[in-house]
Structure 1
Amino acid sequence: MMNIEENKLQMPNYSPSLKRKRLFNELDQHEKVSLLLVTGDSGYGKTMLISSYICEKRIPAVWYQLGSSDRYAHIFLSYVKTGISRQLGIDHSPQILEAEEVDSELATIVSILADRKEPLLLVFDDYQLVDSSPEIEPIINELIHTSPAVTVIIISRGLPRLPIAKLKVERKYKELTTADLAFTLDETCRFFNEMNQLNLENQEVQFIFERTEGWIASYQLILGVIAKMNVKERLSLWSTFPYVQDIYDYLSVEVLQAQPEEVKHFLYKTSLLTELDPVVIDEFLGIDYSEKILSRLLTQHLFVYRDQQGMIRYHRLFRQYLYQNYKNKIKNDYMKEHLRLATIYEERYQLINSFAHYTIGKDYLKAAKVMGLIRDLYNPVESMLFLDGWLEEISAGDSFANNTLFLIRCVPLATLKELTTLFEENISLLRKKKNELWLCNLQHRLATIYLMRGDIVKAKQLFSDSLKGSEQFHDHAMSALNLILLAEIYRYLRKDEEAIEHVRKAVFISERYKIKHTQIHALDTLATIYLDKEKVDKAAPYIQLALNIAKEHDKSSLTFIYTTMGRLYSVKNDGTKAIEWGEKAVSLAESFNNDFDNGWSKHELGKSYLKCKKFEEAKRCFEQASEAFSLFTHYQCMVEISLYHLYTVIGDKAQAAKTYSEIKNTCEKYDFYWLLDGSKPKAKVKNLKERPKQLTIHTLGNFNVCYENKPITIKRQSSLRLLQFFITHRNKKIEKDMIIDTVFPDGSLSTIDNHFNVSLSVLRKTLEPNLKSGVHSRFIKRFGNQYLFDTTDVDLDIETFMTLTKKGDDADINNLEEAVKLFRGDYFEEYPYEAMLENERERLRVLFVKTSQTLAQHYFEQNHYKKCFEYFERILDKDPYQEDIYFDYLEMLLKKNLVTKATKVASDMKQFFTNEMGISVNDQIENIFSKFSVQMHG
């Protein structure tokens, strides 16, 4: 006879885990029920929960770890009898029964349990392995009804085939599901911060909880990755989450590989859907049994669940895993699959789904047509907010920046104002919660709306804030888009150097990370800036490259590319081609049927007509553009300026004067000062002499302030912190609430408000001793509930440093040298632990390093090696953490055969990185020396 495998009757002994008080309270009801069912997907801690509960409560229990061989009644009953006999102290020979003994042995077990008065738990783990056996169900039924003191606990990945209706009616049945087993937000925080002492920030805990939906196995895998990471390293991980190899490996091995090929195919294909509608799936896959597959997946708890509306969905993390795997498997064909789904949804009049899939599939023309139907049928605000999250959800983790511009362009004009209010409220809430992970995306969306509505100042600040966040979280697509739109703003403000600097950064990011849609936009913007200067030779290759990429990767941008091509030929004085390209742009814009594209293309075509002296055609285009831009005040004003020029050219003085008066009123009302200068008659322009700068502030190295060349001291600490904040956010209108949250984070609202007013008053009087009223301050200006630190009349060293380091086409080496001399130390060097200064300090330090590198390279090429090496030494003295600088320095030394010096630098590098940072650089150093066929001395 076969013997019992002892390990099957041993309860797992897990290491101490988080105590699940919430679930323990539920399990305490076991005395009232005969059957306790614990079902859930893999990795939700079912076994751990029950075993830890039994150990904690010291309840007598029989544990049976099931395998596929236990599906036979005589084997199953053998283990049950052995376990019960041992628990009750009954002599028993642990051997497998014969098949013919099943009925008599079951009767004996039932008889023994019927007399049981004290609680006893019969635990059957991995029950899904025997559930299909018709021999096991009757045994379980008998065990369930033996005694009120006996509770059968079934742990399974799927719902067992047991008759439980009567038990439910009698209230002798209890079930814990995936939803119950999942960690709550509080448990998530306790797991990472109390149990594992990681001290994660609230926003990180919230992020993990929302992205994993409380899946316990993922927590352990995430813990293994982030346990030794610092905050900066973790932020980098969250930007690519959930692409953690350990999580994907777990899902692959534990879940996907266990499925038959038919189910795998079904899972992959349907990962493109956020809602698993059987009717849609049948049509998409060409089958008629998807409802049966979904039912089986639900029964097996294969990371599938019904939401509160009854719609079947995949667990978010599981769907992202499937989606990315499928996307990698079929490459670019995944967009064709989205387009197939878009057509199916459109035919079923599920328009929001259809729009989302057309957009992700990059058929922007059809997406725009569907949006027209959405505008007519749905509440515009609700549909836009829904789409705001829907696109991101469907594309499973791709950056929202991929489609944000197209979505905003499709928004009905009347909706923008309502959306603005909602986004502002959400941003305020996220700021209060200090939830920066979601903040930068929302800031970008609101900034785009402000830009299109013409509030350039607010847009600029929000794009800048979003840029800091997107750089912090390594969202490269969002960073590039923020840089491009900031470049456009600087272009409108006629700050061409800043515009070029920003757009070049965007081009670099787009090329490095292969982000085609931002590359197109950046190249188009760069070409436009050069066309402003009539530098045709520089603009032409950029716009041609943008055109080539757009035709293949993003046809929605062709309206703007065609428009810029028209402008290119207009500047070249080729009117025929300028009009030809302009008409192509207008035709495409009209097919998209959105106002912004229409206004943009017709305005530029009108300018081409005007240059060719086709005045009627120009007037018609300008009037149509003005109507299209009716709610885009800034862009409408630009069109009115073109109309003013038209009336001036044709000699209609009365109409020109009337139009100019309207432009002037609009510019003064909305503070469009950069537009007014361009349209003002030349006779009225006055040259004002620059006022002397009375205030001097040094922030690089030792901090000091002088007023009219006399040192001044800011005695009040809170006033000093306020000045530090203002300098860091100079020339930007900042909400009072944001200033208070950063500078005065503690205290009651009334106390903080008073603290702010006193600190501000002291600061103003310190900086301007003769100031009688804060209203007249030249430096700290108030605009309603916003404040701005105006540096127009301030000699501020960091602004001088920034100006000197601007690299145009002909970089001035003397300016760069002056900039490096000016960098006497880090930004507010005496305040190293002030968090609000960190980003600006790092930005300036990086700029100093890049400038010094440029100078070092310049002098190396000029054979001034001593100066070259001095700059390398200066960099390493200021920032010894620059691994790449060491390597560049070594290469230049070895190129000039300065082996002894190179050996000394290599030794210093080893000393610093190995001893102080615990990082080995030996292999890299040896590779550099071997590259020049030399050995290190000593």
Structure 2
Amino acid sequence: MNTPLLQTKFYIPVTRSNPADGLRTSFVPRLRLIERLNQGLVGKLTLISAPAGFGKTTLVSHWLDQVNLPVAWLSLDKYDSDLARFLRYLIAALQTIQPAVGTETLALLQSSPIPPHHTLLTLLINDLTAIENKSILVLDDYHLLDTDTIDQALTYFVDNLPPTLHLVITSRTDPNLPLARLRANRQMSELRSADLRFTPTEAAQFLTQMTGLTLSPAEVEALDRRTEGWIAGLQMAALSLGQRESQAVAQFVEAFSGSHHYIMDYLVDEVLQQQSAETQTFLLYTSILNRLCGPLCEALLQGVEARDVDRATAPISDGPNAQEILANLEQANLFINPIDHQRRWYRYHPLFADLLRYRLQLTYPHQLPQLHLSASQWYEQTGLTDLAVQHALAAQDFDRVAALVEQVASAMIQRSELTILLTWLDLVPDEAIQVRPLLGLYYSWGLFLSGQIKAAATRLQAIETQLETDGTLKSSEAQAHAAAMRAYLMRETGDLASTISLSQQALAYLPKQDTLLEAMVALNLAIAHYLQGEFEPAAQQLTHIIATGQTAQLMANTLAAIFLNAQLLRAQGNLQQALRLCQEGLALVARYGWHNFPAVGFLYVVLGDLYREQNALTPAAEYLHKGIALGQTGGHPHILIAGYVWLAWLHQTQGDVNGSQEAIRAALQIEQQYAVSRFWPLPSAECYQARLWIAQGDLTAANRWVQAQRWSRADTPIAYLDEAAYLTLARLQIAEENFESAEASLRRLSQAAVAAKRNGSLIEILILQAITFTARKRSREALSALMQALDLAEPEAFVRIFLDEGRPMIDLLRQAVAQGVHTTYTLPLLNALGEATTAAQPLVEPLSEREMEVLRRVAAGYSNKEIAEELIVTISTVKRHISNIYGKLEAGSRTQAVVKARELKLL
């Protein structure tokens, strides 16, 4: 559900400068200010900062009438303080002058959590560079926003604005932007109250136009001096003067003094007393509205009349309709301005509205709830639910607030509008939420997704108890959300079995249309299965997520699923399938234009590590760095941890010890900063740091890590979640020449990997077993283990898993070559390890694989008969092979052949 945007926020207020419209004009040409605004277009920003009543908005709208440039206008209110909401309105405003801008940013705003502001705004600013002609963006009433997040976002926006877009801000107070820097760099022009005050000449012209009276220079000077050129004060004085006889003017001017607040307080009384009872009622009742139109005003007035709360006020229904009243108020210059050219929508001057609301509170406080309730009902009927919620809150009708928020909460969570959602729900008493368990669950989700895990768990617990004790509150949707929320919390604690069962419950209850929750539950279920080493059910969920999640709303889940599935396939030994999956992911990114989305970092970092495994180190580095950059822009700890861990190992591969240590420290810092749960499918930074210590010879540090771990009993199976730690332990045992313990550890690891068909894990285990057997002088077992590893690895083109073992692997691979085992695979591995394999067989005619088999047996002391029996050939065939070997090696006997073969590193 997409909550519609309030279109009147994009309307440029209509000016009153054209006498042909039949209205008495109060327009005073302010050429000096218009010229300054024109001059300011050369910079990035124009700031118009002054208290209420100085004509900021009116000046800008008059100026825009004259500049003949494309204009995007956004009238702000306090609810725009939510970054996601602010950016949606900002983009919609900009789309009035450039319809194509912001589409990628809007798509990113569908992700949860939303990326940092600089990621979002970078995309938007890149789009804005397509604007060829000078254009203007106006943010009106910026002082109503109250959040550092938007100040920071706007600072980034201003700093990087393309030269074709000029920003204008109107505000009662200075915004929290780097004004001093902008001013020093001549990138900002500004108008303040001293600039906006009417000069005596302007004041005289204004008063004459407003009143139709000819005031003496002394009277004009007195009013101008006492208001200090304050336009709102002069306008209110003019309204009061317009109803007086000429002889009363001097008396009024003489009595007119005091502060701005006192003047306005006094003049509102004066002006209201001059209006009919009907108009006074209309003004007071409709003052609760930020924007007014006839149907909305009538809904308010009819709502009050229907309740017959106070018949002392004059009824409205028997007079002109509300739209006519609005037009009459405009004609009377009564602090009301049209927003659109059709004059359907209006707004009161903010200062006048404040004073009217103050009067309403004093005079008819009992009417306020009904007025706000009527406004809420009208906005709900017109589909503007967020405004309906605001007026329901003002009416303190919390049952209505709860009902309205329940309708839009899911969409708000999808759009990451968590700040405003939690603000609303924090204001609602628990009693109103308790009768709506689904709303309480949305509240819990909002808390969880904003990082308030304990608060989310507490609220969920209360809802679960409530659903258990009161069956009337149960619904399949509520049960689905409760189970899904609890499943996420259980994974945080490491209870994976409960995570799986609860996720399955949630999927069973879930309404089909809730695709986002389904994807979230499916991913959580897949992660739990994966961490338990249950790859088949995990793969089923991941495949479903990837197949059905090709929308911007589900994009983050889809890319996380590719990240996880690629790791799963690699652990199974299916390296080529993992690479194909990532290539399909890249095609998906290209097709939908997701290149700059932070979640694409998931795809890049796992692809980088897959390339590293294939020894394609240049693309590996490129993808890892790209993924880390996206993880940084998105503030995504999981991407960053995986990226930095794998980058550390890449640096180690390249011999860059300092680089590897720096990268692993970055991963550890992020783990600590974000308190990342270990129950997420990530490479453990601590475990990889220990492995790096071992590779770099710091066994003391590695031992400290081992001592800090909790190891399972030797007679229990090793869980997949602990596999990496046990592999690291085995490596340390080998490095310390504790081969008996290493063999025991590897035996347990092998049993678990074989049982779960994790061939990728098994390749590494077999390699370490081969190294261990070699160290224990058990060459046959060593070669057997290596051959099994090669059997699994060659079809998938694993490379670094062998090369990373260094010198021990060189000796093992030589034996494999000598035995003629996978020579097309092992010789390139030796080459990559730096062996001069081109000199390993410098023969005019190399030995065939069968000749190598015969030679190995000759070296082992086999007789011709024994060789024939083992190779299942005739003795004459064996003799022929030996003759060929003699000729190729230029040897005259078995002994010479073996010696020459060893010199050539064939044995």
Q: TM-score, normalized by length of structure 2? A: 0.41
Q: TM-score, normalized by length of structure 1? A: 0.40
Asked which structure has the greater CA Rg, the reply is: 2
Higher relative CO (CA 8 A, sep ≥ 6), structure 1 or 2? 2
